Structures are given as C-alpha cells and as structure tokens.
Amino acid sequence: MAIGQVELAIRVAAGLFVIVAPTLLFLGLWRGLEAMRDDELIQRAQQRARSMESDHGGWNIDATAVRAAATRADPVPDEMIACDSCGTHNRDDVTYCQDCLSDLSGR
C-alpha cells in the first residue's frame, strides 16, 4: 500500500512539529523569564546578604550553649546503633550510616 504525497507531507510536518516545538517553547519560556527578572530586586537581596555577613549574620548565639548541645550524648535505643564518625542513630541491621555513609559492619 503506497503512501500518497499528501499523507507523506502530513507525516513529515507532524514529525517536524514534534521535534521543533518543544525547543521553541523552551526558548520562549527562557526569554520570558529573562524579561520578568527584576535586576533591582536581585541587587537589593545581594546587598542585604553582604550586610548580614558583615554583621556576622545578626545572630546573637551563646557559643557555650551550642558546644554543650553538640557534646551532649543522647541515649541510643537498643535497636539502634550510633555511627562512630558522625553520631547518627542507625538501625542495627544496616551496613552503612544513613548520614555520612561510614561502614558500620565492623561492629
């Protein structure tokens, strides 16, 4: 069964549309987002971030309280083991730490 000239042209046009349309739509979206970008807002956010960095973030944290909280040892449940590297609580049937991926099988 031979394909007619019109049917062939329709299939080629549909194939080209399927290939070219997503690229054109993406480029249009990209250009639209570029046009909507507010450069003044970005500059103000960057200036605010720089000023907060120079003020040490504006946070007033007691360093001794942070150290005490970090060194305090919480009890580990029986079915859990603590990682030697990072202290994360893991199930006792796992081979690697879920946080730092250290080997736990040597226990």
More confident residue, 25 or 101: 25
Domain boundaries, the chain: 5-60, 74-107
Q: What is the value of pTM for the model shown?
A: 0.32
Q: Which 3 state secondary structure label does DSSP give 99?
A: coil
Structure tokens at 97: 């730490």
R_g (Cα) of the chain, nearest Å: 30
Structure tokens at 22: 């997503």
More confident residue, 5 or 67: 5
Surface-to-core class of residue 59, CB atoms within 10 Å of its CB (0-12 exposed, 13-18 middle, 19+ buried) = exposed
Provide the pLDDT for residue 25: 96
Neighbours of 90 (CB within 10 A): 19
Tell me, what amino acid is at 63? A
| pLDDT at residue 56 tops 70 | no
Among 8-12, 59-63, 96-100, which stretch is predicted with the lowest mean pLDDT? Answer: 59-63
Provide the pLDDT for residue 87: 84
